[in-house]
Structure 1
Amino acid sequence: MIVLTSFSDEELFELVKENRKDAYEEIYHRFKGVLYAHAYRMLGDREEVQDLIQEVFVALWTKKDSLLIKNVSAYLYSSVRNRVIDRVSRLKSRNKYLDSMAFYAEHYSYQVPDRILYEKELRGLIETEVNALPERMRLIFQMSRKEHLSHKEIGEKLGLSETTVKKQVNNALKILRSKFSSRDTFIFFLFIYSLPQ
């Protein structure tokens, strides 16, 4: 049996390109801790960092055939950095937009047509955040909130325990609430997504 721990990162990646999941897992275990610490220093949000690290490793596996990597460590750090920059940029843009919308609502909410437009834009913003959830979490959350399925029904459809489904829904709500936590104006819209099942 080959001991992969003695292989270099680049040798492991060559095995990954041959669909060797054990080599992929070895790379994952070598780098997950340091990449997590690196991203956490920049973002300071555990759940956000966990999602980001998961995205980096999923991309490594799914794009392995088209990636030309000379230095695995440099590639992974660069991927993490780019995703952090993207998230920070999106957060700044979203916060600027939310501040603008909150000001507008506070000063012009008495105008009914404008209020309807405002609410429509808010719903769109929330929908964007829902779509940004990790894939499985988003699927479960949408089945719960849009299809109005119970946790038990979702579990049966997806082959998951009711507890797992409940945890995924709660995690989704926690993520969504954190995006809008300082915005009292948005609580009503978040409430729509958090009605008990």
Structure 2
Amino acid sequence: MPTEKLHFDITLLQRLKEGDQGAFELLYTKHAKPVYLKIRRMVKVSEEVDELFQELFVRIWERREQIDIQQPFSAYLYRIAENMVYDFYRKAARTEKLRDTLRMTSQESYDQIEQTLFKKEAITLLHEAIATMPPLRRQAFILCKIEEKSYEEAADIMGISTNTVRNHIVKSMHTLKSYFQDQKNSDSAILLFLILSCY
């Protein structure tokens, strides 16, 4: 069953790369809600959330030929969304009025993203660390920690037990810790903290 779903996703992505709008609409329907909620949690300002969300899928369509169909589409989608949010906050920092509005709307959210901007390499390192995980462990981590699905939902998608999903998540966190401990970087502990707090 998981193999069939994976094959279906690869087929959709291949059709998307070829300019198939029907495939684009199916992918939009499947991923729109979770990525919208993620952007909303990061930005908080409704008008800006809607604009970023619309722009995200415009970019997906415009860059469809660059998509790697062998990689999880959700991870690609979230990475672009995160980069757009970071760019948004950079622009906001240059606009006094918008910055004040953001601070009044959600001081905590603004400060958290502003801090993450100075450590954006944490996101890059996270994706590098995920890539080192075995396929099932990587899939479990993406489903539960990035897409924020429950263990039960992940178990159903992967065709395995909830306990097995939980074991994969525990092992994935060990993988992350080991990966950062191996980095020749004095800020690795800070980066790890940022990653674990974000996910």
TM-score past 0.5 threshold: no
Which structure has more relative contact order (CA 8 Å, sep 6+)? It is 2
Give the TM-score, by structure 1 length. Answer: 0.43
Give the TM-score, by structure 2 length. Answer: 0.43
Highest CA radius of gyration, 1 or 2?
1
